[in-house]
Amino acid sequence: MIRTIVWGENHHEQTNRVVSDLYPNGMHGCIADALNADPAIEATTATLQEPEHGLSEARLAETDVLTWWGHARHGDVDDAVVERVAAHVWSGMGLICLHSAHFSKIFKRLMGTPCNLSWREAGERERLWVTSRNHPIVAGLPDHFELEHEEMYGEPFGIPEPMETVMIGWFQGGEVFRSGVTYKKGAGSVFYFQPGHETYPTYHDANIQTVLRNGVKWAYNSAPRVLDVTSAPNRAVEDALEPITARGPKLHEDGQEGFT
Amino acid sequence: MIRTIVWGENHHEQTNRVVSDLYPNGMHGCIADALNADPAIEATTATLQEPEHGLSEARLAETDVLTWWGHARHGDVDDAVVERVAAHVWSGMGLICLHSAHFSKIFKRLMGTPCNLSWREAGERERLWVTSRNHPIVAGLPDHFELEHEEMYGEPFGIPEPMETVMIGWFQGGEVFRSGVTYKKGAGSVFYFQPGHETYPTYHDANIQTVLRNGVKWAYNSAPRVLDVTSAPNRAVEDALEPITARGPKLHEDGQEGFT
Amino acid sequence: MIRTIVWGENHHEQTNRVVSDLYPNGMHGCIADALNADPAIEATTATLQEPEHGLSEARLAETDVLTWWGHARHGDVDDAVVERVAAHVWSGMGLICLHSAHFSKIFKRLMGTPCNLSWREAGERERLWVTSRNHPIVAGLPDHFELEHEEMYGEPFGIPEPMETVMIGWFQGGEVFRSGVTYKKGAGSVFYFQPGHETYPTYHDANIQTVLRNGVKWAYNSAPRVLDVTSAPNRAVEDALEPITARGPKLHEDGQEGFT
Amino acid sequence: MIRTIVWGENHHEQTNRVVSDLYPNGMHGCIADALNADPAIEATTATLQEPEHGLSEARLAETDVLTWWGHARHGDVDDAVVERVAAHVWSGMGLICLHSAHFSKIFKRLMGTPCNLSWREAGERERLWVTSRNHPIVAGLPDHFELEHEEMYGEPFGIPEPMETVMIGWFQGGEVFRSGVTYKKGAGSVFYFQPGHETYPTYHDANIQTVLRNGVKWAYNSAPRVLDVTSAPNRAVEDALEPITARGPKLHEDGQEGFT
């Protein structure tokens, strides 16, 4: 079982009638239901409003994959939780950032770039094209599929060059977007997936749900977490793998900690 | 002329006799001299101790490439200056991080990973191997060259997969290290280069100086800086490149700012 | 079950006493045994001497992953079989090239580069360092492990930049090598792994066997093969996904085949 | 001066009135004129019909960058010339493959994949989006620009993951395409650029000509060619960089050639 947390900002579901009608159990509830339809996945939810946003150290330690959707309240996410999630990703937890999570603290933290884009909320048609055929994330999908209504996200998208560009979106109004991109950050696999504006029924779409399930399986790393993932150990001269003798001037006394 | 700032922490030069004897004008002074030996480069220096660490907005705006060496005082670098440098990199300024700058705030900020490694100060021999022949960064160098004394930096190195791994280091004590790696971060080219422990005469080495000069030329982007590099512009429906009509429910009022 | 073919050149096992003593059932037999120790893998063997080298279209169509070891008889491999294997890789079959298979026709065909290196047969010590912690290929392995005797393979290694450099080898005589590298070629995952000189007991080593089993699982793509993987279909104007009208001068008559 | 050869198939210019009217000096002539407008470039032409297709060893040895356009006569290009060009790319010559050269022998040879795509000749509008802002190849260009008439090339495009995806094309009929992609193959930089159907005036377009000039400068490697780019040298035990003693059983006699 791939233990998955579906994180939701859970803001517009509480404040906007269009969104609450589309997602009466929250977007996170809808996504979790879609994931739980796969017997290999066990998805639960967490939201901004919970203590520690539902992402305590203990819970993350028992989580294989985290999905993240946020939009209007990125700034309310505690920096300490962001660093905690980042450390779990580096150690091997998978992370899937959805739609407006391009501007989430955790995605920007991991990318090291602005992650900006152009946008337009016009309910226009998007067509997603698969650029990496039979990639595990698009298993079972045709070479292209459509969303009759999506928010336009347009290039240039301020991300680092992906490990793989898996999908590219075509928009009716004339833009394109790298809609599905993958990264490795330490032992953790990261997938960004563009569709999912909250005023459209995107997460009810069968193809989108397939991508979400595939994405969780792709991001899953079955190995135990890397321990002390940020440590920079000193290796003593006398323990060198090949026998050597210390020589030359030294800055550090023996056994001294390095600078961090 | 490639306008280059050589940034130095300038700490051990002031506090450690070994270092000040090796680098009487500072490591930054030595590196700047090496760069200025190339008529295409105009290098000046900046240090931690200067106001804004010598990296004001005005000065960075007239800088093509920045090189960074720091070790013991990473924590003293102002976060605002780090963000300023990052924005200039995204906009097109080149950045070269040297040796212990693997743990500098700016390098970790741009990589989005721990950037950790193992280390040993034993004055052992390092041999650098070129893995990308005739890469501009190694132009004029043989396939391998040696440093009789270097600090060991060992894998695993906590960086994202590079755009290119240009050099790999072999250490006498049995370790290897990705010693020369490149990245693109927005419009900015980033080069990390491992040699340069302050108690050894590394920056006086002819091959190392060649890499430094090559690196500056490789990192130079002659295009004007990207403006508003973090903005996420809304594109109005009526200005769409292909004529479309707004439809479906909306979250944003017309002309409203997006969430950031 | 991951249906795996272990392909062996099976030449030195027949002609060299050292090799036949080390591998009485052939290197391919030893590797297949190591793979079959994993209940998720079902490995069989194929050799150069069989009709079609044991790699008929029918057999490849029912194969998930192919491992390849060759050295002295690369030139005897039929070009038509090489193209057949390449097409299966593009369609989704995993491929693992071992040791001297760096110079196999199939590896060079897929890389598009010389795949050359330097080498020395001195029975020296190699130490493999993991550069991508917890990558599925190195699951269960320590950060480094040793082979007391290996053939030296040294950089520069004439390969394209890998998708990921997973392991780097340190050699006693002073060289380094990108010993474990991954690629995607169409829907097929490709892994090159350097150890495995035929006069040493490398494939009896427990760590090496772990890498082989991990590699097969990593290279496995559970999706059905991509059909017509080389076709370049014409899309008729009247079937365009968005309504358009043909305009401008034409080179091709309607329905005409493209040039290939 | 960047010594550049503009290679043209020169077939439809001789057989099709539309093409000869658009390009009275051949498409290669038009491209060469565009390149020669830059004082840093010295462009000449070569065509399929010349001896050795105009690409003798002597001429390639004095060439920095080669651009390639072919469509209907890919099969007529001599395999020996293709191998010769490939070796020069590995050694450091830049290569720019234009439009239907996605199916040229040289591009497929270097990519190691089918390089296939879908297509439609409808004279539809294409809009090219820059995905890597301020990349040297798009210096001076806006974030997007249009071609009123182009042949549709659509994803999935059967190429390996690029080093960088620099431009993506939007097509009126609903497709997208990775229109500008870069690779390194040995010491040689490779750029594929999609626009350029022979029945439209694409190579007369100012933005396209800017990309061509930028591309040549980007692909230029000023270092001398790598010598013996395919050799796999044996390093003798007695010449090892670190002193070692041969041990263990050997396959090769001392000084023997390796297998190739």
In a domain, A149, yes or no: yes
In a domain, C204, yes or no: yes
Is C199's Cβ below 8 Å from some Cβ in D?
yes
Per the CB < 8 A criterion, the answer to whether B124 and B149 are in contact is: yes
Task: Count Cα atoms within 13 angstroms, Cβ side, for B260.
Answer: 11
Is the predicted pLDDT of residue B254 greater than 80, yes or no?
Answer: no
The predicted structure's pLDDT at residue D195: 98
Identify residue B145 by its one-letter amino acid code.
F
Q: Which residue of D has its CA nearest to A118?
A: D143
Per the CB < 8 A criterion, the answer to whether A132 and A164 are in contact is: yes
Which residues, in sequence order, are CB contacts of A186 under 8 Å at separation 6+? A89, A90, A91, A92, A226, A229, B113, B114, B158, C133, C134
A chain contacts of residue D161, beta-carbon cutoff 8 Å: 132, 163-165
One-character DSSP codes across A149-186? EEEEEESPP--PPPSEEEEEEEETTS-EEEEEEEEEET
In a domain, B136, yes or no: no
Task: Round to whole Å and give the CA distance between C28 and C14.
Answer: 13
Q: Check CB contact under 8 Å for D139 and B184.
A: no
Residue A159 tokens read as 């991300």
Residue A206's domain spans which residues?
Answer: 2-219
C chain contacts of residue A144, beta-carbon cutoff 8 Å: 241
Residue C143 tokens read as 């950060």
The residue written with tokens 């997602």 in the block is A23
* DSSP-derived 3-state class of residue D125: strand
- Measure CB to CB from residue D249 to each of C18, C110, C252 and give the nearest one: C18
Which residue blocks in D8-100 are alpha helix, DSSP H? 12-15, 17-22, 26-36, 57-61, 79-91
Helices C206-219 and C26-36 cross at an angle (nearest 10°) of 70
Report the gap between the CA of D237 and the closest CA in chain A (Å). 19
Task: Count Cα atoms within 13 angstroms, Cβ side, for C144.
Answer: 21
Per the CB < 8 A criterion, the answer to whether A96 and A66 are in contact is: yes
Task: Round to whole Å and give the CA distance between B179 and B130.
Answer: 10
Q: pLDDT by residue (tens digit) across B134-188?
A: 999 999 999 999 999 999 999 999 999 999 999 999 999 999 999 999 999 999 9
Q: Check CB contact under 8 Å for D176 and A170.
A: yes
- Measure CB to CB from residue C244 to each of D154, D173, D233 and give the nearest one: D173
Report the gap between the CA of B39 and the closest CA in chain A (Å). 33
Identify residue C118 by its one-letter amino acid code.
S
Q: Give strand pairing partners of B120.
A: B152
* DSSP-derived 3-state class of residue A234: strand
* DSSP-derived 3-state class of residue B232: coil
The predicted structure's pLDDT at residue D238: 93
The CA radius of gyration of chain B, in Å to the nearest whole number, is 21
Identify residue B75 by its one-letter amino acid code.
G
Residue A165 tokens read as 């560009």
C chain contacts of residue A136, beta-carbon cutoff 8 Å: 221-223
Residue C77 tokens read as 């491999």
The residue written with tokens 């060496």 in the block is B69
Cα separations (Å) of B53 from A238, B219, C84? 39, 22, 61
Q: pLDDT by residue (tens digit) across B220-239?
A: 999 999 999 999 999 999 99
In a domain, D72, yes or no: yes
What ipTM describes this predicted complex? 0.96
DSSP structure class, residue A191? E
Task: Round to whole Å and give the CA distance between A120 and A152.
Answer: 5
% residues pLDDT > 90 (chain D)? 95
Task: Round to whole Å and give the CA distance between A29 and A20.
Answer: 11
The residue written with tokens 């292209």 in the block is A144
The predicted structure's pLDDT at residue C252: 75
Residues 4-23 of B with CB under 8 A from A: 12, 16, 18-19
Per the CB < 8 A criterion, the answer to whether D55 and D96 are in contact is: no
A179-201: average pLDDT: 98
Beta strands in D139-204 (DSSP E): 144-154, 164-171, 176-185, 188-193
How many Cβ atoms are within 10 Å of C65's Cβ, its own excluded? 26
The predicted structure's pLDDT at residue D35: 98
Task: Round to whole Å and give the CA distance between B160 and C163.
Answer: 11
The residue written with tokens 């005589």 in the block is C173
| 3-state helix vs strand vs coil in chain B, percent to 5 | 30, 30, 40
The predicted structure's pLDDT at residue B253: 65
Is the predicted pLDDT of residue B255 greater than 60, yes or no?
Answer: no
The predicted structure's pLDDT at residue C260: 64
pLDDT level of residue D255 (50, 70, 90 thresholds)? low
Which residues, in sequence order, are CB contacts of C144 under 8 Å at separation 6+? A241, B155, C127, C128, C129, C130
Report the gap between the CA of D136 and the closest CA in chain B (Å). 7
**Domains: count for chain C:** 1
Residue A9 tokens read as 């900002």
The residue written with tokens 């750029």 in the block is D191
List all chains that touch chain A, counting a touch as 3 or more CB pairs closer than 8 Å: B, C, D
The predicted structure's pLDDT at residue C256: 60
Task: Round to whole Å and give the CA distance between A32 and A97.
Answer: 14
Task: Round to whole Å and give the CA distance between A256 and B19.
Answer: 18
CA angle B203/B113/C216 to nearest 5° reads 110
- Beta-carbon contacts below 8 Å between B and C: 64
Residues 41-60 of C with CB under 8 A from D: none
In a domain, D242, yes or no: no
pTM for the predicted model, two decimal places: 0.97
A194-212: average pLDDT: 98
Is the predicted pLDDT of residue D260 greater than 70, yes or no?
Answer: no
In a domain, C154, yes or no: no
The predicted structure's pLDDT at residue A255: 53
Is the predicted pLDDT of residue D256 greater than 90, yes or no?
Answer: no
Q: pLDDT by residue (tens digit) across D16-55?
A: 999 999 999 999 999 999 999 999 999 999 999 999 999 9
Task: Round to whole Å and give the CA distance between A16 and D134.
Answer: 40
Task: Count Cα atoms within 13 angstroms, Cβ side, for B134.
Answer: 24
Q: The domain spanning residue D44 has which CATH number?
A: 3.40.50.880
Backbone CA torsion sign across B212, B215, B220, B226: negative
Q: Check CB contact under 8 Å for D199 and C74.
A: no
The predicted structure's pLDDT at residue D252: 75
% residues pLDDT > 90 (chain A)? 95
B chain contacts of residue D124, beta-carbon cutoff 8 Å: none
Helices A206-219 and A26-36 cross at an angle (nearest 10°) of 70
In a domain, C71, yes or no: yes
Cα separations (Å) of D159 from A6, C24, C185? 34, 42, 8
Task: Round to whole Å and give the CA distance between C229 and C60.
Answer: 15
Q: pLDDT by residue (tens digit) across D107-166?
A: 999 999 999 999 999 999 999 999 999 999 999 999 999 999 999 999 999 999 999 999
Which among B121, B126, B163, B253 is the top mutation candidate for probing chain A, defined by the most A β-carbons within 10 Å of its own β-carbon? B121
In a domain, A85, yes or no: yes
Residue C250 tokens read as 């034409």
Spans of chain C below 70 pLDDT: 253-258, 260
With CA atoms as reference, report the closest residue to C254 among C242, C236, C240, C241. C236
The predicted structure's pLDDT at residue C142: 97
Which residues, in sequence order, are CB contacts of D90 under 8 Å at separation 6+? C113, C114, C158, D185, D186, D187, D188, D226, D229, D230
Residue B257 tokens read as 């700012």
Calculate the CA C191 to chain-centre distance: 5
Is C79's Cβ below 8 Å from some Cβ in D?
no
One-character DSSP codes across C157-197? P--PPPSEEEEEEEETTS-EEEEEEEEEETTEEEEEE----
Identify residue B204 by its one-letter amino acid code.
H
Task: Round to whole Å and give the CA distance between A36 and A5.
Answer: 11
Residue C129 tokens read as 């360092």
Report the gap between the CA of D10 and the closest CA in chain B (Å). 33
B52 burial type by CB count under 10 A (0-12 exposed, 13-18 middle, 19+ buried): middle
The predicted structure's pLDDT at residue C251: 85
Which residue blocks in chain C are alpha helix, DSSP H? 12-15, 17-22, 26-36, 57-61, 79-91, 105-111, 206-219
Residue B77 tokens read as 């670098």
D chain contacts of residue A156, beta-carbon cutoff 8 Å: 129-133, 143
Cβ burial B69-90 (10 Å sphere, 16+ → b, else e): bbbbebeebeeebbebbbbbbb
Cα separations (Å) of D63 from B171, D92, D188, D224? 39, 10, 12, 11
Q: pLDDT by residue (tens digit) across B59-115?
A: 999 999 999 999 999 999 999 999 999 999 999 999 999 999 999 999 999 999 999
To the nearest 10°, report the CA torsion of D163, D166, D170, D174: 10
Q: Check CB contact under 8 Å for B116 and A232.
A: yes
